[in-house]
Every structure is written in structure tokens, then in C-alpha cells.
Structure 1
Amino acid sequence: MEITDYELFEVPPRWLFLKITTSDGTVGWGEPVVEGRAKTVRGAVEELLDDYLLGEDPLRIEHHWQRLYRGGFYRGGPVLMSAIAGIDQALWDIKGKHYGAPVYDLLGGAARDRVRVYQWIGGDRPADVGDAAAEKVDAGFDALKMNGTPELRRIDNPAAVDAARNRIAEVREAVGDEVDIGVDFHGRVAKSMAKRLVEALEPYEPMFIEEPVLPEHNDALPEIAQHTTTPIATGERMYSRWDFKEVFEQGVVDLIQPDLSHAGGITEVKKIASIAEAYDVAMAPHCPLGPLALASCIQVDACTPNVLIQEQSLDIHYNETSDVLDYLADPGVFEYDDGYVDLPTEPGLGVEIDEAVVRERAEQEVDWHNPVWTHDDGSVAEW
């Protein structure tokens, strides 16, 4: 068996799907994308497949991962690692189908019976979070996540802190103490404000504070941690086990959030998770993406002891024209029951893509880019 062909499909709302075909007709799917940079990642995927993988045995996944990563003098970063990630997902899909087993069975077998998931509320500039939280809890979720703030100045006024405090207070009042609330700072908060905000939000006992500062400022995490007992989460913009070394050695991050479509795929994230386990750090993979990214996450979640919970993007504010279930032949594979999803039993990634829908929607114009925010003085703000 060898890799004979591949196709890429850019589809709404902001995803890129990869289909790899082998000489025996086996097909594997992956999701290599950087949100807002799909065309750039497409070029990287094409280069890697054309230069390294066409004509190769798809089952030698570790060998191929090493060639794709180490075969270039310049390594890492979101574009290359996302391209590798989607290819890696597709190769695991092929391997699972070849052996007639879910990917998690090839990685040691299930460590749990089902995976807990959380639901997004509130949008980019969070509003109406109390009602939204109550609605999602009524739908069966017992874990939620919200953005903590809109854009902030590097040093902002007391009203900005009060607004963030009032939002989480509204959610806590609406759902009570038996529901977990993750608060995402989204890297839009400078360390000067992060210290104030983590103290202000602590009385409402967030499940975690996510990305309190951008990853280029991870050296500030120990100082921020001194201002709170709330667990600290980060990692969606970290792309390899080497990127995570510093936060593990600091000893202040409690939850890592690598993205299966950005951090080198199933092969790399499984390794990152194992290192995290040695440092007593939990994992909650980042996934505001499509069905193939989520399927890949659930395969790793299933066989990874230190996974806490899984992000998923059903009804997330980005999905304005298409949603996760639209591209699946059987949407029931992602049916959430009391805030959990059952482990898939079908081989490979465990999902069947509706290729006709993919081809139809790939004909649409897709032009998603994240907003560029500005402060009152016209300077660029973090989104």
C-alpha cells in the first residue's frame, strides 16, 4: 500500500479538509488549518505531500512525522505544524481503517468510557452570558467556557475589572456551584491586568483561567500564579513538545490545551500529554474547529489518562454559515449526553465524512479572518 493522491477542500466557516487516498482505495481525512490562514497552510500541505509522501507507505507514521518535521532546516511554528497535524490525522485514519480499529486502540486502548465536553457561551465581546449559561445547562452541559473580557488597555480602569467580575458573577448565579466555568483571557490581557483580574475573579471559583498572557510572555506566569489559586491553562498557540518545556519546568500551569490541528497532530499531542502527566498537569485539547479536528481530539482523549475535558465548537460564535455536524454522514457520533460524548467505535478517526457536502461547500467563497481590534486611540488591540 502506498499514498497515491490527495485533495484539499477549503470549506465554511473557516476550515480546511485533507483527503489522502492509497493504492488499495483506503481514504484518510485530516484537518490542517490555521484559522484565517487556510490558503497559507494549503501551500505547506501540498509541499510536504509532494516532496515527501506521495508513493510512500502510509502506515509508517512516526517515520513520516520525523521526516516532515526534521526534513527542513526551519522548523516549528503554526503553519508548518498545522500542515503536519492534518497529514498526521489522515495517516492515523488510514492506519485505523487498515487494521479495523479506532485510533485509540492502536495507541494503547481506552483509558475511559466517555469524554466530558464543555460548551462555549457569550461570544468574542461577552454579553448575555447568564441566560446563555442557563440555556446550556438545561441542555445537559455541566461545564461552560466564556471570554473574560473584550479588548483591554495594558493598564485599564476599575470599571473594566468590575465588568469582568460582574460577567462571571452573572454566570455563577445562573448555574450554581455544580457547574464548571472556564474563563478565557484569549491572550488579550497584559500581565499588569492579568494579575488584577485573576484576583477579582477568584471568589467565583473558575474552573481555570485560560491564556492569561500570550505565550511569548509565559515567563510572566509564575508572577500571575502568585495572585490566585485558580488553575492556570495555556497552550493553544504552542505547537510542539519543545514549546511546552518551559511551562512544565515552571510548575505553575495546571492545564495544557494543545490543538490537534496545530500542534503536530495525534502523534505529537500524545507525546505532549505524556510529558504533562509526568509533571502532574492535566490536558484539555483546544478545538474550536471542525469535525475531523474534534474526532482526532476524542481519539487522543480516549487513551490519555490525564485528559480533563474536551473543547468542542458546536454553536460557537464563529460557526455562522456551517457547523460541525453538517459535514458528517452520521452526526450521531458527536451526540452529547449529560455533557459527555461516547467513545467512537468505528475504525480510524471514527467519523464518516459526507464527501458530497464537502465538495458542494468547497465551491463557496471562504474568506474568514479574525477581526483586528483597536483601542480608542486607534492603536491595535489584541483580539
Structure 2
Amino acid sequence: MSQSVFTPHSKASQGSSIPPLKIRSARVIVTSPGRNFVTLKIETDQGVYGIGDATLNGREKSVVAYLEDHVIPVLIGRDARRIEDIWQYLYRGAYWRRGPVTMRAIAAVDVALWDIKAKALGAPLYDLLGGKSREGVMVYGHANGETLEDTLEAVGRYIEAGYKAVRAQSGVPGVDLAYGVGRGDLYYEPADAQLPTETVWSTRKYMNYLPNLFEALRKRYGFDVELLHDGHHRMTPLEAAQLGKRLEPYQLFWLEDATQAENQDAFRLIRSHTTTPLAVGEVFNTIWDAKDLIQEQLIDYIRTSVVAAGGLTHLRRIADFASVWQIKTGCHGATDLSPVTMGAALHFDTWVPNFGIQEYMRHTAETDAVFPHAYSFSDGLMHPGDGPGHGVDLDEALAAKYPYDPRQLPVARLEDGTMWNW
């Protein structure tokens, strides 16, 4: 009987099998090429390695400690092929489970293991998930400006760049440091100081102003381009219902995070008053955070991300559950997620049958250099690349030149000083 020889890049289509891939080491790399990223690198005794993203914006070191103290020690010596078993071990084996820190740590391990397995088979990650469901992934960019006219021009620039969908955010007269208004055309990083910046908010001023923005956008650009907007959890359920109804004539692709996501029941009130599509979930960590929203069809898009939801293994379950109720995916994809998560998300998006859209904020040139990647943008669509694994790597020597830079997200107060949702 002949003995098969393991070749790391042998093609799965040629019938190769993978012998045990024993985890030899795992390391956390923290780098800040413009903003902080936490990356987990897992290496096997066969010389195949994988990387996963564990970034938690403004709380990065909490995940570093969780990985180094509680996760990495139990990974050494395990078989990297057993992705499901390792996921269950890290989730079920933690009595204090769920939450943003735990699930990001699990996500980093999970994505790194999928990367390893795909590389060992010489296949793009989407092939392991079930193969392509589409030829490209529709993404939306972020257009914003201090004034209505600034935002109109910013949306136009995205349309000229080929985007088929654009998120529009604008400064609000009388509201200083309104959410979503960046400091450049492509980059928006709200975590801006070692201690949280305090901003002031007025929901009434915002609600009276916003319909004017979308009326102006439709007058200038028509109805062929998809328009999105993020409410960022700042409205009460009734306020969100009122705004959704006022925005109906402008046919938004979605109104995102209309109210606090913790209160799933609140979406019943919103749903009963408006047909504006609703999206929520970037702060969700497990299927339990979205269960009622999905099975009662209170939302149209589920936005949890690869890194927030414990990796591809669990995100697939959320997407499959959502598909039963004709709810689509719309994964979070801001710059607080590293290119590793973007690469993994694009492989997921290429496969998932009930795909809706993918958020895509461009990283800085420094970040792109630290994380060389195979994904690309063309004519409004993203492509994950067809090489082995998820297609994103880490230049450790370059990463070391950008040390950790403590930053926190802002907080918000109402005009009378009451703490509010940022």
C-alpha cells in the first residue's frame, strides 16, 4: 500500500487529504499603523500558519490578555484541522461565555484555523465554505461632510469611483462633532484620544435635518444608486419609527442601528410604523443577540461581523438562521476591523446564499502595507482573490514599527448634560 505524502499546497480538487496539523505555537501581535489592530498568528508543525483578527476598538488590550492568558495555553498541541471542536471547546468550555472580549478571541482562533486548513488544501477559503454563490461582493462606502452640500459632493465622488451603494452621514446644524463625519474623504477613525472625547447630541435637531439630506441626494443623483444611513443607536423606538416613516419617499437601502440593539422588543414598534428597511447587529456577539429580531422578521439585514461573532464558524449559523426568514447579511466592515477580517468577510460574502451587502471602509496606506492582501475593488464590487486561505498576511517586521497607541471611542451627552448613546 502506497503512503500519501503531505504537500501544503496540494489542490483539494486532486483528492488530497490533510494529515494532522499540530498547533506548535500561537502569538499575539499588536500594531498601530494609523489605528490599533490585534492579530493572532497560529503556526503548525507542518509549517502552515494562519492569522486571525481579534481587534476590539478602544479595548484592544483586554482581548490580548484573554488570548495570552486563557486561550493560547489550551491551543498548543491540538490538531488545527478540528475547527468545530476547537470552537466548541473555547465557547462551551468558558463558563463565563459570550461578550465582545471572549467572542473576538474565539474569532481570531477560528479565522486562523480556517486560513490554515484552506492553505493546506491549496484552496481559497470560500471553497471550504461551499464555493461561490456570486462573482463579486457589492460594498458600500462612507460619504460624509460637515454640511449638507459637503455630503452631496462626497456621495458624488463615491458614485464616480464606481460604488453602487453609499452610506450618507452629515454634520447637523447646532450639533458639534456629529457622528460619522470624518476628517478625510476615505478614512474615518472615531477613536481619537487616550481618554474619551465628549460630544453633544440633539436627536430632535438631527431628525428635523436628516430628511432634507436624502431629499437633496435623490434630487441630484436619482434613485439608481443605493443610499444607506446609520442612526448609531441614538433614537428611542418611537423616534426611530418617526424617522423611518419620513425617509420612506427616498427609498433607503437601510436605516442602520435605529435604536439600542440590546432591546430586541423595541423593533416591533419601529416595524409597525415604517417600511424603511432596518439593519442592526454590529455590536452583536452571538445568535442569541439576534434570535427574536430574526425569527419575528423585525429586521431586514443582520450586520454582525466575522470578528464580533466568534469567527466564520458561528457567523455561518447566524446567516443560515436568518435565511429561513429571508433576512440578508450586511456585515460590519469599518476600519476598526483589520484587513484580516475584511479578507475573511469577503470569502464569507462570496459564499453566503442570503448575502445583502458588505460595508467597506478603506484602510490607510500604512495599514495596507502591514497587512498585504489579495482582495480588490472593481466597479462597485469586491473580490476576495483566489489564492489559498483568506488571502491576507501580516508583515511582522513592518508591524513592529507601529507600536500600540492607546485610543478610546468618544462618548455623548444630550444638550442638558445627560449621558447618551454615542
**TM-score, normalised via structure 1 length:** 0.91
Are residue 371 (structure 1) and residue 410 (structure 2) matched?
Answer: yes
Equivalent position of 1:328 in the other structure: 371
Q: Give the Cα–Cα distance (whole angstroms) in 2 for the partners of residues 373 and 311 of structure 1.
A: 24
Q: Unpaired segments of 5 or more residues in structure 2?
A: 1-20, 173-177, 180-198
Are residue 354 (structure 1) and residue 376 (structure 2) matched?
Answer: no
Are residue 10 (structure 1) and residue 30 (structure 2) matched?
Answer: yes
Q: Give the Cα–Cα distance (whole angstroms) in 1 for the partners of residues 405 and 393 of structure 2.
A: 23
Q: Give the Cα–Cα distance (whole angstroms) in 1 for the partners of residues 272 and 43 of structure 2.
A: 52
Equivalent position of 2:360 in the other structure: 312
1:253-264 aligned within 5 A: 253-264=299-310
Among 57, 64, 68, the alignment partner of 1:35 is 57
How far off its partner does 1:212 sit?
A: 0.8
Equivalent position of 1:228 in the other structure: 274
Are residue 53 (structure 1) and residue 53 (structure 2) matched?
Answer: no
Equivalent position of 2:168 in the other structure: 146
How many pairs does the alignment contain? 373
Are residue 79 (structure 1) and residue 101 (structure 2) matched?
Answer: yes
How far off its partner does 1:106 sit?
A: 1.0
> Structure 1's 291 and 155: CA in aligned 2 closer, same or farther, altered over 3 A?
closer
Q: Give the Cα–Cα distance (whole angstroms) in 1 for the partners of residues 388 and 148 of structure 2.
A: 39
Equivalent position of 2:9 in the other structure: none
How far off its partner does 1:153 sit?
A: 9.4
One-letter code aligned to 2:352: T
Given that 1:183 and 1:210 are in contact with CA atoms closer than 8 Å, whether structure 2 keeps it comes out as yes
Q: Give the Cα–Cα distance (whole angstroms) in 2 for the partners of residues 125 and 78 of structure 1.
A: 34
Given that 1:101 and 1:347 are in contact with CA atoms closer than 8 Å, whether structure 2 keeps it comes out as yes
Q: Unpaired segments of 5 or more residues in structure 1?
A: none
One-letter code aligned to 1:90: A
> Structure 1's 72 and 193: CA in aligned 2 closer, same or farther, altered over 3 A?
same
Are residue 69 (structure 1) and residue 110 (structure 2) matched?
Answer: no
Q: Give the Cα–Cα distance (whole angstroms) in 2 for the partners of residues 378 and 69 of structure 1.
A: 40
1:184-263 aligned within 5 A: 184-263=230-309
Given that 2:141 and 2:360 are in contact with CA atoms closer than 8 Å, whether structure 1 keeps it comes out as yes
Deviations 1:40-94 (A, max 9, x none): 0111122343342111111100000000000011111111011111111111111
Given that 1:125 and 1:147 are in contact with CA atoms closer than 8 Å, whether structure 2 keeps it comes out as no
Q: Give the Cα–Cα distance (whole angstroms) in 2 for the partners of residues 334 and 353 of structure 1.
A: 14
User: Rg: which structure is higher?
Assistant: 2
One-letter code aligned to 2:104: S
> Structure 1's 302 and 140: CA in aligned 2 closer, same or farther, altered over 3 A?
same
State the identity %. 32
> Structure 1's 154 and 88: CA in aligned 2 closer, same or farther, altered over 3 A?
same
Q: Give the Cα–Cα distance (whole angstroms) in 2 for the partners of residues 5 and 60 of structure 1.
A: 16
Given that 2:201 and 2:413 are in contact with CA atoms closer than 8 Å, whether structure 1 keeps it comes out as no
Q: Give the Cα–Cα distance (whole angstroms) in 1 for the partners of residues 64 and 277 of structure 2.
A: 36
Helix, strand or coil at the partner of 1:206 = coil
How far off its partner does 1:357 sit?
A: 2.1
One-letter code aligned to 1:97: K
- Structure in which a larger fraction of residues adopt helix: 1
Equivalent position of 2:184 in the other structure: none
How far off its partner does 1:218 sit?
A: 1.7
Helix, strand or coil at the partner of 1:146 = strand
Q: Give the Cα–Cα distance (whole angstroms) in 1 for the partners of residues 406 and 147 of structure 2.
A: 21
Helix, strand or coil at the partner of 2:134 = coil
One-letter code aligned to 2:268: P
Equivalent position of 1:166 in the other structure: 212
**TM-score, normalised via structure 2 length:** 0.83
One-letter code aligned to 2:340: L
